[in-house]
Amino acid sequence: MKGPGTSYLLLLLWISLAHVVYSQDVTLPPRPVLPFQQDAQPNVTDEQLAIQFYQSRDFVKAAELFERIYDSRPSYYVYQYLVMALVENQEYGKAEKIVRKCIKAEPDSPRYLVDLGYILYRSGNPDKARKTYEEALKKLAPSQQSIFDLANAFMMKGENEYAIQTYLKGRQLMNYTYPFGFELAGVYERMGDFKSATEEYLNLLEFNEAYLNTIQDRIQGLLSFDVNNEKNEILRKVLLSRAQKNPDKVVYAALLWWYSIQQKDFDLALIQAKALDRRLKENGDKLVQVANLALSNQQFDVAESAFQALIDKGGSSPYYSYSRRELINTRYRKILSSPSPQKQELENLTGSMVKELKDSGESPENITLIRNFAHLEGFYNHRPDSAISLLNRAILMAGISNEDKAYCKMELADIFLFTGEVWEATLLYQQVYQDYKNDVLGQEAKFKNTKLSFYIGEFMWARAQADILKAATSKFIANDALALSLLIGENLDPDSSTVALEKYARADLLDFRNEPGLALQSLDSILTTFVEHPIFPYVFYKKAVIKLRQGKFAEADTLLELVFSLYPEGVLADEALMQRGDLNRKQLNDPGKAMDCYREIIDKYPASIFVPEARRQFRKLRGDNIP
């Protein structure tokens, strides 16, 4: 008698033999082709075709194909497409049946409950949907992958609030061994809640300070799209609040320092740099960085304070000697950038320079200080012989770099031009140009030599050289060369008379020699000699520039108004408007008039290079929240 085991073995043997015979002698009929598959390209798979239909929102065809694929090769990837296509077709019952089957097969995977809740929501049962979402949250396991899966399932359905709840509950379930900070910040960003995102980033620093660089990168990326400066304001407030509440947390001070540098808020940067330097017992690296950045942005007071703080660290500080020099150089730039330097300021500055050079010596390290002192002596203290002697010693100094030597030669040439030794000046300019033909330094020397030609009345030669320099790699030199070329071209009289241009060139030279009174007399002589002349707008503009430097702002304002009101089609009209806008905004404290100037540039001179800045300043005066 055969037992059940024997019968079972015989059955398996029969099935195997039948399969062999069947596979050899019988051809299976092909799966029926859906009508819309007949037109598909031959190399396109069913899955690719289904996705194409889904993306083109042909959900009926997409659902048919995905259902066939899912029946033969079930996967979570295909499942998601199938359920969504059915929901879009409003085949809610069919979609629910598939989802419930998955829930039964994987009861510990709550992500399927999210799909069920979504179906209930789309079919008009929001209360049931919410209960189902809550049920999914209750089933959440203390597994990082499970938490990711459920949060992603919620986000795919647009349920960001539930995704946040998932991460917050997951943080507790895992006993804060992983904080889900980056994930939470990402969800908040999607919701436009930058404050909460920022708080999560800062919470991550509580968890691990090694995240600092990554968080800085994330924040920088977000701020780059901050059109209305709203995120900047939020970040600043949150950072300051954290730093004040946690004064012992150095990482907050470090982040605040980084942020202030990004925003060019050098006052705040200096405060944080001092705090970090003191707490971490650093050697002044952050202080010197703030000092140099502030100086390059003409924030002279902050730069002075930073260099002074470095000096106060004492002679053992690696930046001590450097800071002493740079503090004086900063004061030099600050005083000479003012409209009208005071005599006492110049005398104090001269004394500081003399003392520093006496204490530290005329060395290559002091070359910038030496060059600045020479300029001060020649152009402001009216001691050109002292300046020439100083620069000649610097040029012959042992150890000086070729580039520093070239800059000293250009300064020496400027002094010679100041004293009227034109031949000596042009030789030095030419030397620098020959040595640095393919460098900005050489182009600067060439432009100075071109201006020298203009000063002495060699207008055709100066214009030819200016036309060459219009292609200079330096934007500033190219713009200055273009302006000089236009000035000469517009004011060479048809009868070859150059009287007006000669008077203007003389005024320009006198202004270069820091003789504003004589320069103004020469400009006024043009206005009294001619009834009308194309050079008049240039005369008014030049007078305005000189008046600005003298601190005579009301007179400068009137002159700038003449430039664009009398010569609205002239090349200086937009520049005069911009200057007048800035003058009324900064010195005359008339924001209404400044706005009118900026608006006129935007409306009447849309091709002007000043339009972007005019628009920015206009918006700031209007009250828009921009940096």
Report pLDDT for 627.
53
Q: Is residue 456 part of a domain?
A: no
Quote the pLDDT of residue 599. 95
Name the H helices within 297-342: 300-312, 320-337
The C-alpha atoms of residue 227 and residue 287 are separated, in whole angstroms, by 30
CATH code, domain carrying 511? 1.25.40.10
Mean pLDDT of all residues in the chain?
89
**H/E segment holding residue 493:** none
First to last CA, the chain: 96
Please report where in the chains the tokens 């002091």 appear, as a residue.
Answer: 366
In a domain, 544, yes or no: yes
Domain assignment present for residue 92? The answer is no
For the packed helices 343-360 and 367-379, what is the interaxial angle rounded to 10 degrees? Answer: 140
Instruction: Give the pLDDT confidence score for residue 623 in this predicted structure.
Output: 80
For residue 156, is it within any domain?
A: no
Q: Which residues of the chain are under the pLDDT cut of 70?
A: 1-44, 227, 493-496, 625-627
Q: Is residue 51 part of a domain?
A: no
pLDDT at 39: 52
* DSSP three-state, residue 567: coil
Q: Is 300 within the bounds of a domain?
A: no
pLDDT on residue 37: 53
Parent domain of 530 = 493-622
Query: Residue 555 falls within a domain, yes or no?
Result: yes
Q: Establish if 214 belongs to a structural domain.
A: no
Residue 373's contacts (CB-CB under 8 Å, 6 or more residues apart) are 350, 353, 354, 357, 390
123 is written with which tokens?
């079919």
Task: State the pLDDT at residue 340.
Answer: 76
- Structural domain count of the chain: 1
- Nearest C-alpha neighbor of 401 from the set 443, 379, 378, 371: 371
Provide the b/e sequence for 445-480 (b: ≥16 CB within 10 Å).
Answer: bbbbbbbbbbbbeebeebbebbbebeebebeebbeb
- Please tell me the predicted confidence (pLDDT) of residue 263: 86
- Give strand ranges (E) for 192-253: none
- Decide: 504 and 530 in contact? Cβ < 8 Å: no
Q: Which of 343, 260, 340 is nearest to 302 (CA)?
A: 260
